[in-house]
Amino acid sequence: MAERLEIGQIAPEFTAKNQRDEDIALSSLRGKSVVLYFYPKDDTPGCTTEGQEFTALYPKFQVAGAEILGVSRDSVASHLKFACKYEFPFSLLADPDETLCKAYDVIKEKKNYGKVYLGIERSTFVIDREGKLAYIERKVKAAGHAEKILAIVEKLAG
């Protein structure tokens, strides 16, 4: 179990493969704000909505000096299919062994139709230019979330 993450602490470092099978390291994004959003599964309704909203606002995130990274337990191949289908302009990071999920403490007990299982709790972390956690939101509702995060990133940009 990861330690409880708090605003102001250094974000857990990681390197993970994106949908193009490229290594993406958090440390390589220093100097930019990073929106790290965890979602349960590729090509499901809520995850698609969230991705599409981040895509629609992506130019504004770029102007604010921010990069967006989506993370789920899906494979690189699954991410490629999902990203291509909806033309996502940002990286989707594959975390099949839950390394990132555990570092950011997003694996939670969930219930669906009476069945209990462990899954990703939709969560977003905004990491500032120095690599510190600037904002944490858990139990995210997908619709309208990207706009809320954009306002936070724009505030960080000054």
Active site residue 47: yes
Confidence of residue 113 (pLDDT cuts 50, 70, 90): confident
pLDDT tens digits, one per residue of 35-67: 999 999 999 999 999 999 999 999 999 999 999
- Of the candidates 5, 11, 36, 47, the residue annotated as catalytic is 47
CA angle, 126 then 127 then 133, to 5°: 90
CB burial class (10 A; 0-12, 13-18, 19+) of residue 50? buried
Backbone dihedral angles phi then psi of residue 126, each to the nearest 5 degrees: -105, 125
The answer to whether 71 and 100 have CB atoms below 8 angstroms apart is: yes
SS3 104: coil
pTM for the full model? Answer: 0.94
Work out the widest C-alpha separation in the chain, in whole angstroms: 46
The mean pLDDT of the chain is 94
For the cut 80, the answer to whether the pLDDT of residue 2 exceeds it is no
pLDDT tens digits, one per residue of 85-108: 999 999 999 999 999 999 999 999
Tokens of 42: 């590729």
Q: Return the percentage of the chain with pLDDT > 70, whole number.
A: 98
Domains defined along the chain, listed by start: 15-157 (3.40.30.10)
For the cut 90, the answer to whether the pLDDT of residue 117 exceeds it is no
Report residue 7 CA to chain centroid gap: 16
Nearest CA-CA partner of 55 in 147, 139, 122, 154: 147
Cβ partners under 8 Å of residue 33, min gap 6: 64, 65, 66, 67, 126, 127, 128, 129, 134, 153, 156, 157
